[in-house]
């Protein structure tokens, strides 16, 4: 991961044990050059540069693995916070769309996602099947996208009148219906996960993976419909806008 590598290298170079001796050493060498050469300044400069480079090399050799792990965890925490902030904002926006199903669905989906992540962290049976985790993440992300688009359709409906408004609201209703189906299916599957983690029956995980694949297809229907909606209609009447 390029971002992890960049953070590790930045931490290595920006470390006080590396940076300060090098800066002091280079400064001493520049001072020595400016005054026409001074043995003491040269010695301080060389020792400083060598000390900083040595510290850098020792951390690179002995501490690279732990530094990489810390950098990776820091990036994950940053991304998780960004994701949480985005979901909190979406949830707040959905409270204003005059449909209690949307923000309630997002709360339930987030709760299901957290339950699955907790089960995955505690149980090696699930952790050993990364495809399952990948499917759950895809379904959750696709459902969030559907809810975002339901909000976009609501905002669009406020600018329309007549048949155009009704068509947009009908489309929004279908989007919400798909979200509710996905939520219910995801809830049933995660309940089965909990049962499997107790019974330790890994043979059933393949079947659940197939069910997740089917749920993912339902969750992605909105993207196809939205693509169709974004195709220009030659019969579109702009006078329908207020």
pLDDT digit of tens for each residue in the chain (242 aa)? 566 566 656 666 567 677 777 777 778 778 777 877 778 877 877 887 787 777 667 766 666 666 666 666 777 788 889 999 999 999 999 999 989 999 999 999 999 988 888 877 776 656 566 777 788 888 888 889 999 999 999 999 999 999 999 999 999 999 999 899 888 888 887 777 766 654 454 455 555 656 666 666 655 555 565 566 555 444 434 444 34
- Bridge partners (DSSP) listed for residue 160: 241
For residues 152 and 35, membership in a common domain is answered with no
Taking CA 213 as the corner, what is the angle to CA 210 and CA 216, rounded to the nearest 5 degrees? Answer: 155
Backbone angles phi, psi at 241, to 5 degrees: -75, 145
Q: Is the dihedral of CA 88, 89, 90, 92 positive or negative?
A: positive
Q: Are residues 155 and 236 in the same domain?
A: yes
Letter string b/e over residues 171-180, b meaning 16 or more CB atoms within 10 A of that residue's CB: bbeebbebbb
In this structure, are 34 and 125 located in the same domain? no
**Residues 116 and 14 grouped into a single domain:** no
Q: 101, 176 in Cβ contact below 8 A?
A: yes
211 in the same domain as 162: yes
| Residue 152, domain member (yes or no) | yes
Domain shared by 114 and 57, yes or no: no
Look up tokens 């010695």; give the residue: 43
- Spatial neighbors of 44 by CB under 8 A, at least 6 apart, are 24, 25, 28
The residue out of 44, 64, 84 marking a domain boundary is 64
Residue 142: count other Cβ atoms within 10 Å of its Cβ: 21
Q: What is the reported pLDDT for 235? A: 42
Residues 34 and 147 placed together within one structural domain of the fold? no
Whether residue 125 lies inside any domain: the answer is yes
102 and 217 part of one domain: yes
Pick from 75, 67, 78: nearest CA to 15: 67
Q: For residue 78, is it within any domain? A: no
Q: Tell me, yes or no, whether 220 lies in a domain.
A: yes
Contact 8, 68 (CB under 8 A): yes
CB atoms within 10 A of CB 220: 17
Residue where one domain finishes, among candidates 64, 80, 106:
64
Are 155 and 206 contained in the same domain? yes
Q: Indicate whether 225 and 115 sit together in one domain.
A: yes
In a domain, 75, yes or no: no
Q: Which domain holds residue 121?
A: 95-240
The number of distinct structural domains making up the chain is 2
Residue labelled with tokens 């079947």: 207
In the 8-state DSSP scheme, what is residue 235?
T
Backbone angles phi, psi at 125, to 5 degrees: -60, -45
- Grouping H, G, I as helix, E, B as strand and the rest as coil, residue 97 is coil
In the DSSP assignment, the letter for residue 242 is: -
Same domain, 157 and 42: no
Q: Look up the pTM and report it.
A: 0.63
Task: Please indicate, yes or no, whether residues 58 and 109 belong to a single structural domain of this protein.
Answer: no
């Amino acid at each position: 991961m390029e971002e992890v590598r960049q953070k590790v290298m930045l931490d290595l170079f920006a470390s006080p044990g590396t940076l300060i001796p090098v800066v002091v050493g280079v400064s001493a060498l520049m001072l020595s050059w400016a005054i026409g050469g001074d043995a003491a300044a040269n010695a301080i400069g060389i020792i400083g540069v060598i000390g900083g480079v040595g510290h850098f090399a020792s951390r690179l050799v002995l501490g690279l693995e732990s530094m990489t792990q810390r950098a990776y965890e820091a990036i994950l925490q940053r991304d998780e916070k960004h994701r949480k902030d985005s979901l909190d904002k979406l949830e707040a926006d959905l409270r204003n769309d005059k449909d209690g199903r949307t923000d309630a669905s997002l709360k339930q989906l987030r709760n299901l996602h957290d339950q699955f992540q907790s089960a995955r962290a505690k149980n090696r049976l699930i952790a050993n099947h990364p495809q399952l985790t990948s499917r759950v993440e895809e379904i959750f992300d696709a459902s969030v996208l559907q809810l975002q688009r339901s909000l976009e359709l609501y905002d669009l409906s406020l600018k329309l009148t007549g048949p155009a408004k009704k068509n947009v609201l009908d489309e929004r209703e279908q989007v919400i219906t798909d979200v509710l189906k996905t939520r219910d299916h995801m809830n049933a599957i995660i309940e089965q996960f909990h049962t499997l983690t107790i019974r330790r029956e890994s043979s059933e995980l393949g079947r659940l993976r197939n069910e997740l694949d089917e749920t993912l297809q339902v969750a992605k229907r909105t993207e196809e419909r939205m693509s169709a909606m974004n195709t220009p209609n030659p019969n579109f009447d702009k006078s329908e806008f207020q």
